[in-house]
Amino acid sequence: MIDAWRNLAATGIAAGLLALVLACSGRQSDWETARKADTAEAYAAFLKHYPQGDFTSQAYARLADLKEEADWQTALAADSAQAYQQFIARHPDGARADEARIRIENLNLAQVPVDAPPAAGGPQALVPGNPSPPKPPVPEPAARYRVQLGAFSSATRARSEWREAVKSYPKQLAGLSYTLDKTGEGGSTLFRLQTSVMSESKARAICDALKAARQACVVVVP
């Protein structure tokens, strides 16, 4: 009798272990299926069946990444300051948050009129009773144009981006140095990464070359 009970117990334990192995095997198989599909729908289906346990945290993390990427593509399609602001509101610490801030900054700068206001002290008419024309104004030092490569949430990140840009675009940025223009934007501090050149044509030539190499930039007029 005792032997019979022992046999039953052993059989029950074996059945339990087998069920556990099969369950783990099924979870592993379903996880591999979701991972290969790598879609929000696949991960959502996996989490519906396995809300807890192995691979659950990985599924949630990947689902969040895919959601952020979808929102980023939506913002890129709209390519407006409002769309990028909405993206930042949804993903303030996301991998694309800094790039969204850069694009907002560049869009704002692009709206600044290119034509500078006429300089004071231009040609003056003769004043009645004064036969001699007034002395010409002393020319002011030439204003410097700037090329902005982006706006970043920290000075450290801006400096790092400059080092990477110099490595990636040595021809376009040869002999140039960077400056950081600290400003407030949307309640947060941004550091504008810029480099100065003497002429507008030089600034635009540099920026055009950088854009052709898929580096975001904008010309900042004096």
* Residue 164: CA count within 13 A, CB half-sphere: 10
Q: Does residue 87 lie within any of the structural domains? A: no
- Asked if pLDDT for residue 108 goes beyond 50, the answer is yes
Type of residue at 195: T
Q: Give the list of residues 6+ apart from residue 97 with CB closer than 8 angstroms, or none.
A: 87, 88, 91, 153
Q: Is the pLDDT of residue 135 over 70?
A: no
Highest mean pLDDT among 4-8, 14-18, 218-222: 218-222
Lookup: tokens for 83: 């769309």
Task: Please tell me the predicted confidence (pLDDT) of residue 192.
Answer: 87
Q: Domain check: are 70 and 30 in the same one? A: yes
Task: Choose among 192, 183, 200: nearest CA to 143.
Answer: 200
Q: Of the ranges 17-26, 28-37, 44-53, 190-199, which one carries the lowest mean pLDDT score? A: 17-26
- Indicate whether 103 and 191 sit together in one domain: yes
Give per-residue pLDDT as tens, 172-209. Answer: 888 889 898 888 755 678 888 899 988 888 888 998 88
Parent domain of 157: 98-113+143-220
Q: Under 8 Å CB-to-CB from 48, ≥6 apart: which residues?
A: none
The reply to whether 86 falls in a domain is: no
Cβ atoms < 10 Å from Cβ of 70: 11
Overall domain count for the chain: 2
* 109, 165: one domain: yes
